[in-house]
Amino acid sequence: MKVLVDTSVWLAAFAKSTSKASGKPIEKLHTLIDSEQMIYLSGIILFEVVRGFKHVKERQQLVEQLSAFPMLDLERNDYLLAADLSAMCRNKGIITSTPDSLIAATAIRHDCHLFTMDKDFEQIAKAIPLKILGS
C-alpha cells in the first residue's frame, strides 16, 4: 500500500511533548514504517513540517530523518487537478485550503492513501475520491 503521510501526523510524531508524540496515530505510523509500507512525502507537507521548527539544528535533524522517505513531485496538471478538486468541494459546500487541495491532489494522482489526523480531510473525502487511512 502507498501512503502519503500528512503534516499533522509528522508534527505529532516529532513533538517534544511525550503526550503529543504518543497515541494511536503515532503507533500506526511506526507500524506502517516497520511493515515496510511505501511511505511518501510531498513538497507542501515537507514545507509545513520543517517550517514549524525554529532552531536550525532541530530542522537539520528533521530534514535528515525525513530524507528516508521519497518525495511525490507535482506537475502542471496536478495543480489543475487541485483546483478542480477544490471546486468540486466548494460545489458541495466544503471549503478547502490551497495546501489541503494540493495534498489531496497528490494523494489521488499517485494513488496513495492519505494518513492524516486533520479532520478537514474527512470532509474533503466526502466530495472527492480521496482515500483516507484512518488512525
pLDDT for the residue 18: 47
pLDDT for the residue 60: 93
Helix 43-51 × helix 98-109 angle, to 10°: 140
> What's the pTM value of the predicted model, to 2 decimals?
0.91
pLDDT for the residue 85: 96
Q: Report whether 25 contacts 118 (CB < 8 A).
A: no
The phi, psi pair for 3, rounded to 5°, reads -130, 125
Residue whose C-alpha is closest to residue 46's, from 77, 71, 80, 78: 71
pLDDT by 10s per residue, the chain, length 135: 999 999 999 999 888 654 555 578 888 998 998 998 899 999 999 999 999 888 899 899 999 999 999 999 999 999 999 999 999 999 999 999 999 999 999 999 999 999 999 999 999 999 999 999 976
Spatial separation of the C-alpha atoms in residues 58 and 55, rounded to whole Å: 5
Residue whose C-alpha is closest to residue 128's, from 37, 70, 65, 106: 106
Domains of the chain, each with CATH number or no CATH: 2-133 (3.40.50.1010)
